[in-house]
Structure 1
Amino acid sequence: MHLFRRTLSSIRLPTRFWKSAHPRPTLTLLLSHRSPRHYFSSKACTGCNKAMPTQSSKLSYSEGGQLPSDAPSWAVAASERIREKMAKGLGTTAVPPEGVKRVLLHSCCAPCSGAMVEEMCASKVDEVVVFFYNPNIHPKKEYDIRKEENKRYCEKIGVTFIDCDYDSDNWYERMKGMEFDPERGRRCTECFDMRMERTALYAVENGFDAIATTNATSRWKDEKQVNGSGFRAAARYEGLKYWAYDWQTDEMTLRKYEISANERFYKQEYCGCSYSLRDSNDWRKANGIPKIQIGGESAGLGERYFTDPLVDAAEESQDVVDEFFAQANEIAEAGRDVKERKKRLSVYKDRRKNEAHDGINNGLNNW
């Protein structure tokens, strides 16, 4: 039986509080099926990897050489580095900021959380807590799918999960005037700021030393943009630190998708907000691709669940990501002119999220 404990006021506050230097808390639920200290002693965190058994027949984190004979070169190299690291008994190279013992990790979704939680728990920290605050995700059905999957995964590995308010009204208010900005544009900065400000506030109110975010693991995000929001949020409060690290290495990417395949995580087809959903569907329509499906057992395109670590990781290679975003500003410049926007969206034709030279031509929906 899980213990739910209401920790903050259930009153939703006016938008002005989100713009203020010290926004007030909204409804938060704390999920913890055992005492946090049971899991978050130094010994428990060091053993976090053991709580995530690898079951893939194609790839093993601790035995990185076990790859298919036709595996791409980047995966072979990453796998070899993983094998060497494990052979030397090095659980992680992620070193927390000096003096940090308690970390509040903002999580956008379960697929982005797996490898990052694992690395953090293997580091020299006493406590890692997952904080789910994502009022940008639309519609509510998609939000609930991502949240519940994240919650289930945290329960499985024994990590405390904090479920924060779905504050979508304030999110839309804060995004006014940026409805047609591109991915990685001003709207994304504002969105990261809003979520990290809430994370920082909760961290300070509950005695955490540092904050971090799983948004930093995705190559579809601008690492500098994500980290900038984290540093700004932490700077609001004396003594609070933001844990910046290269969470986008080939090793981390490979491990992230191994966990996602082992857990059969839901494969989302767009970033999360209604504007991302709109633009993604516009591009699909312009290119004769089925529209995005929310939930259910079938995706609009590709697989509904993660199943193959190599295919999933290859879809997020740096070359593919850079190419996909190369023309983003051209689409944004079209603004509210629907016909012009559709015309500009045609630049995404053939800009697939995969690597054709590796023979990978399915998926296309991995965010």
Structure 2
Amino acid sequence: MNKAENILVGISIGDLNGIGSEVVLKTFEDPRMLEFCTPIIFANVKMLSFLRKSHESTAFLHGIDKLDQIVPGKINVYNLWKDSFNLEYGVANDVVGSYAIKSFVAATKALKEGVVDVLVTAPINKYNIQTEDFNFPGHTDYLNQELDGDALMLMVSDSLRIGLLTDHIPVTDVSKHITEKLIRQKISTIKQSLIQDFKIRKPKIAVLGLNPHCGDQGVIGKEDDAVLRPTIRKMFDEGTFVFGPYAADSFFGTNSHEKYDAVIACYHDQGLIPFKTLSFGNGVNYTAGLNKVRTSPDHGTAFEIAGKNQADHNSFKEAVYLAIDIYKSRFEYAQITEKPLKTKEKQF
């Protein structure tokens, strides 16, 4: 079977005290999902079967003990551990956090080795995952270490795409990180992603300013005029359709984002607040720039509603769809670029 016809979707289960298991199981209750992908959940089938009853889910689980036992058309649960431990919905627990990372690390390994084609990650709690062996602020930073390329957090919903120059760093450190090198790297990454992952031949990219009103000619900060503007101008002159910087406070309110294929924000909340305001529950967090495909829903563990069967699984479902779409787009892009059509020279 053509690899692009039956995608193996690796799933890390996330924090089991949160809503991760609920949105995963709800996503695959629909049997039509299994017609175009095969999920492999890295967890434990007994524990997920217990949670399945708790969530009143109709999803049928197929336990496997080895990754070479994956069965197409089934919801495969790879028995990554045999231990039992207590779950308490809505509680941040270090033991539960350690199993969330065990699942994520194993799923990433399977992704690297080509056992699964794409990775979709359920939400983790960034506090209870920290150990001596895993000291990362989130999924993206670990993936950037383990995979090839330069990771860029890209939030996606329909035609809205917002990338970040900096992601999980304190606001006080943002200006220190914004250099010409970083700007070039992130713009180049998002440009390539738009071409190969989203089939946009000549993407147009907007960049938001760092300071209020883009610094008002240096009155409210010099970074926009000293670093952002000249770098954007150089890249435009070199052939990249990148524009800005634009004042962030009015950019989305005037629907200016609709003129561009992607928008790059300088820091986390500058990009995530408008994105989640416009498309919360339908958006996907995509890690662009890497040699493998990883997506996740646009929400966290939602401890406040965990175990209440109130979680909306739409964002996780959209994350699965997007991972599959991007995998297929890359498959087609590789075929086109590696085997260009040969044409005869015109005779005059």
User: Computing the radius of gyration over CA atoms, which structure comes out larger, 1 or 2?
Assistant: 2
Shared fold, TM over 0.5: no
Please give the range of the TM-score, normalised by the shorter of the 2 chains: under 0.3
TM-score w.r.t. length of structure 1: 0.27
If each structure's strand is expressed as a fraction of its own residues, which one has the higher value?
A: 2
Compare the two structures and name the one with the higher helix fraction. 1
Q: Which has the higher contact order (CA 8 A, sep 6+)?
A: 2
